[in-house]
Structure 1
Amino acid sequence: MVHVMIHLRFLSGPDVDRLAITNAEVIAAVEAVVEAHGRGLTVFEPRVHLVPDNGGAGHFNVLRGHVSPLNLSGIKVVGDFVPNYQRGLPSELGLLTAYDPSTGVPLAIMDATWITEVRTGAMTAVGAKHLARSDARILGHVGARGTAFSNVTMLDTLFPLEEIRVTSRRPESREAFAARLREVTSTPVRAVATADEAFDQADILVEASRLDEPTPLLRTASVRPGAFVVPYGTVSAVELDLLDVMDKVVVDDWRESRSGRFGALRAHVDTGRLSEQTLHAQIGEIVSGAKPGREHPDERILFWHRGLSILDVALAHLILTRAEAADAGTMLRYR
């Protein structure tokens, strides 16, 4: 038997940061893989959760996916530990392993914390590109940690926003978030005390809260004609009648929407309010042209994305390709 020496590339958080991948590159990679999903060129399993006996401090999400056009498979493990800010740690820390799908050879191990942050924001942006009004002026955003920065900054690049309103549970958190946003955008940013203030008359409503138990923050009455709504907190922050006012409900993947214990519309799926019959489309069907997106200015459209593993794989491919060209990271002997 011939023994082939195998090395893999380790990419730390700083290694990934130094690659200086732009928001536009991230959005393009995510939109391309969403289109591939719509054309049936991806393979993945719904995420699974590992909930340790840790007194409710947090849990792990395990995501597995393959993208045929990129010839790459990957597995990401990401923690969701909300109290981490008390220790000076991110609430979400991720690690991704990438594999050659034709041999099973591991190609890379990388810090996937940045991937988790930006791919969620990019999915919000891709959804908005196809489902929000092109003349959206006011963005209301609830939540200030994790993916919030990418949500807001990516949406800001796509729309002629005149005001960005942000809020979160802790005053110091929302003020710091607003200050961080003001450093990178000329769009006026206002930190407000409540979700109702953030969402009042907003054209784009994003609910990315980190709740301990279900609490209605995104109220049905806040959704005006023409609004684009994105609720994706792990624990539901919407009212049960929210879907009653929606003209279209779009998800990233229906099978993923039905899986797991968590998600903003978990109760809507469990009670039959959201089903395969009431669903308008998966976002891949819209991006690939199989189904229409926004058709009228006054449509109220909701987009629920739970986070697909294929997005992680697409961005891992972008990182790995860039790292190979720059000879970035550390080569480790595997066997």
Structure 2
Amino acid sequence: MQSPPQHPGIWLRFLSGPDVEELGITSAEIIDAVEQVVAAHGQGRTVFEPRVHLVPDNGGAGHFNVLRGHVSTLGDHGVSGVKVVGDFVPNYRLGLPSELALITLYDPANGIPRAIIDATFITEARTGAMTAVGARHLARPDARILGHAGARGTAFSNVTMLDSLFELDEIRVTSRRPESREEFARRLREVTDTPVRVTQDVAEAFDGADILVEATRLTEPAPLLHPGLVKPGAFVVPYGTVSAVSPDLLDVMDKVVVDDWREARSGRFGALRHHVDTGKLSADTLHAELGAVVGGHRPGREDDRERILLWHRGLSILDVAVGQLILERAERAEAGTMLRYR
């Protein structure tokens, strides 16, 4: 009997947070990677399982999300990946991000692990890029005022990526803690010439805005985003883990778009969880998945007065796509640390 081939060893690449930062991946590259994988999803060229949650016995300090996905259009024969991301709101007291994440990438042809990557940046950047891709297809091209609620986690990527796509006249930001919103505004002013205004509450940030992004970090549901704040023609993106959306918000929406309808129906959390559970948002009232819009199979914005809402829960395939972008850049730069797997 012929012996199986002997391998000298299997190595994988570990990329720390500083390693990823030094690669200099641009917002434009991340938006492009996310838009391509959204289009691939619309073509049925991705595979992913519904996210699952691990809720430790920790007195409500936080929980873990586990995301699993595969993208057939990446690399020579696709890339598979698993990301674990914590959602720990009180982490600011420790000087840490509320969302700390790790992703592992695999070769789907043989199961060999290829990389372990600090995915904290990936989580922030791919979420902001998804907001930007949605706005590119669903917001008015002449949008001038951005209102953003929430100052941590993905907030910085949300605002800066939208700012890169639109000729904004004003960015309004707010959050629950005054010191948090002031620090957020300071960071934004360092990287943009667009005027940044800090508001005292969500209503002031959203009222009359062209693009409204709700990324609050609530611990209990509260109707901070309601129909009275959404003017005709507005593009609305609510995605807080705990809902800040009023039950009647969808009554004024002309179109509701999601990243994936199956994902929207799964899990315990999400901005429109109540609307799905009560039937307010259903397969009949849903306009489209974003992949169908990006791929041209369903219309996006058709009228300047349409109110359009995008609910994206965060697809694992986005993490895989951005992770692969980072890995390829790291391989070319010989960055990171090679670890012996076996």
Q: TM tier, shorter chain?
A: over 0.9
Give, in whole Å, the separation in 1 of the partners of 2:261 and 2:330. 34
1:264 positional shift? 0.2
Matched, 1:2 2:5: yes
Q: Is the 8 A contact 2:237 2:311 kept in 1?
A: yes
Secondary structure at 2:114 match in 1: strand
Secondary structure at 2:73 match in 1: helix
Spell out, residue by residue over 1:188-234, the C-alpha distance to the aligned partner (whole angstroms, 9 max, x if none): 00011000000011000000000010011112110110000000000
Give, in whole Å, the separation in 1 of the partners of 2:154 and 2:42. 24
Q: Which amino acid aligns with 2:5?
A: V
Aligned position for 2:257: 250
Give, in whole Å, the separation in 1 of the partners of 2:268 and 2:212. 24
- Superposition pairs for residues 3-18 of structure 1, below 5 Å? 3-4=6-7, 5-18=9-22
From 183, 205, 208, the counterpart of 1:201: 208
Matched, 1:172 2:179: yes
Q: Is the 8 A contact 1:227 1:298 kept in 2?
A: yes
Aligned position for 2:72: 68
> What residue ranges of structure 2 are gaps of 5+ in the alignment?
none
Spell out, residue by residue over 1:5-51, the C-alpha distance to the aligned partner (whole angstroms, 9 max, x if none): 10000000000000000000000000000000000000000100000
Aligned position for 1:51: 55
Q: Which amino acid aligns with 2:232?
A: P
C-alpha RMSD of the superposition: 0.5
From 20, 26, 34, the counterpart of 1:30: 34
Q: Is the 8 A contact 2:11 2:338 kept in 1?
A: yes
Identical positions, percent: 76
Secondary structure at 1:264 match in 2: coil
Q: Is the 8 A contact 2:145 2:171 kept in 1?
A: yes
Which runs of structure 1 show a deviation greater than 4 angstroms over 4 or more consecutive aligned residues? none
Secondary structure at 1:69 match in 2: coil
Q: Which amino acid aligns with 1:141?
A: H
Aligned position for 1:240: 247
1:2 positional shift? 3.0
Give, in whole Å, the separation in 2 of the partners of 1:219 and 1:300. 13
Give, in whole Å, the separation in 2 of the partners of 1:111 and 1:56. 24
TM value normalised by structure 2: 0.97
Give, in whole Å, the separation in 1 of the partners of 2:189 and 2:102. 30
Q: Is the 8 A contact 2:265 2:276 kept in 1?
A: yes
Secondary structure at 1:181 match in 2: helix
Give, in whole Å, the separation in 1 of the partners of 2:108 and 2:296. 28
- Superposition pairs for residues 90-105 of structure 1, below 5 Å? 90-105=97-112
Aligned position for 1:306: 313
Give, in whole Å, the separation in 2 of the partners of 1:89 and 1:162. 32
Q: Is the 8 A contact 1:30 1:123 kept in 2?
A: yes
Aligned length: 335
Q: Is the 8 A contact 1:220 1:238 kept in 2?
A: no
Q: Is the 8 A contact 1:95 1:111 kept in 2?
A: yes
1:3 positional shift? 3.0
Spell out, residue by residue over 1:257-284, the C-alpha distance to the aligned partner (whole angstroms, 9 max, x if none): 0000000000000000000110000000
Matched, 1:189 2:192: no
Give, in whole Å, the separation in 2 of the partners of 1:11 and 1:265. 35
From 104, 115, 118, the counterpart of 1:111: 118
Q: Is the 8 A contact 1:11 1:109 kept in 2?
A: yes
Give, in whole Å, the separation in 1 of the partners of 2:227 and 2:270. 17
Give, in whole Å, the separation in 2 of the partners of 1:110 and 1:245. 42
Give, in whole Å, the separation in 2 of the partners of 1:259 and 1:279. 16
From 124, 128, 137, the counterpart of 1:130: 137
Spell out, residue by residue over 1:105-143, the C-alpha distance to the aligned partner (whole angstroms, 9 max, x if none): 000001000000000000000000000000001000000
Q: Is the 8 A contact 2:212 2:237 kept in 1?
A: yes
TM value normalised by structure 1: 0.99
Secondary structure at 1:230 match in 2: strand
Q: Which amino acid aligns with 2:70?
A: H
Give, in whole Å, the separation in 1 of the partners of 2:267 and 2:108. 26
Q: Is the 8 A contact 2:226 2:248 kept in 1?
A: no
